Amino acid sequence: MSANTIPTTTVNSFESSIGGYTIRGQAHSLSAWFVLALRLVIGFAFFYSGATKVLGGFASQGYLANVAATNGNPLAGMFLWMSQTPWFVSFVDVAVPWGEVAIGLGIMVGLLTRLAAFFGAMMMVLFYFGNWDLAHGFINSDFMYALVFLAVAAFGAGRILGLDALVEQYKIDGVALIEKYPKLDYILG
């Protein structure tokens, strides 16, 4: 085997095909620790952010009405509608802080990790547009948080010292849960 050949059958190898193009990679043996660190850090950041909102109070109306109206935000009209729709403001006032708490806890303990990461990424996309500012280009911290959530989901980070690893192996009629219901792989892991 030459030095440039990447084995495709090792435990730390991965590959993906999209549109007929396949990429392959091999992770370092320490990668699991870094994926775990990403999961714990993003989980704690979201949990802490939500907990401070729950404990200190949170009101979204001013943010929704004012923040998106600057810098040519492509969704300014949508944010204005949100701010002027009382039921939506009431929903956001509960969904954002408690959503951050639930997402953070799920990610930290590794339970329903992919589901939590999906909602975390969706929330960060909304924050990305809510905090629209191209002064430093398209990439900002909200964009990066969304990518971290997607990486946590893609790597199945809940299986690394997380509860998803236990849930997936729970036996029903002698068959592991994830084998009996393979679609659970979309929310666990």
> Using N-to-C axis directions, what is the helix angle for 31-56 and 86-109, rounded to 10°?
140
Share of the chain above pLDDT 70, in %: 92
- What pLDDT, on a 0 to 100 scale, did the predictor assign at position 66? 81
Give residue for tokens 């329903």: 112
- What pLDDT, on a 0 to 100 scale, did the predictor assign at position 112? 95
- What pLDDT, on a 0 to 100 scale, did the predictor assign at position 12? 77
pLDDT in tens, 50-103: 999 999 999 998 888 887 666 678 888 888 899 999 999 999 999 999 999 999
Rounded mean pLDDT of 1-7?
48
Contacts of 79 (CB under 8 A, 6+ apart): 64, 65, 67, 68, 69, 73, 129, 130
Q: Record the pTM.
A: 0.84
What is the full DSSP assignment across 129-179? HHT---TT-S--HHHHHHHHHHHHHHTTGGGSSSHHHHHHH-EETTEEHHH
Give residue for tokens 């923040």: 67
pLDDT in tens, 116-128: 999 999 999 999 9
CA distance 181 to 82: 38
Average pLDDT, the chain: 88
CA distance 21 to 17: 5
Tokens at residue 40, please? 């714990």
- What pLDDT, on a 0 to 100 scale, did the predictor assign at position 7? 47
Rounded mean pLDDT of 24-37?
88
Q: Is the pLDDT of residue 2 over 50?
A: no
Q: Is the pLDDT of residue 8 over 60?
A: no
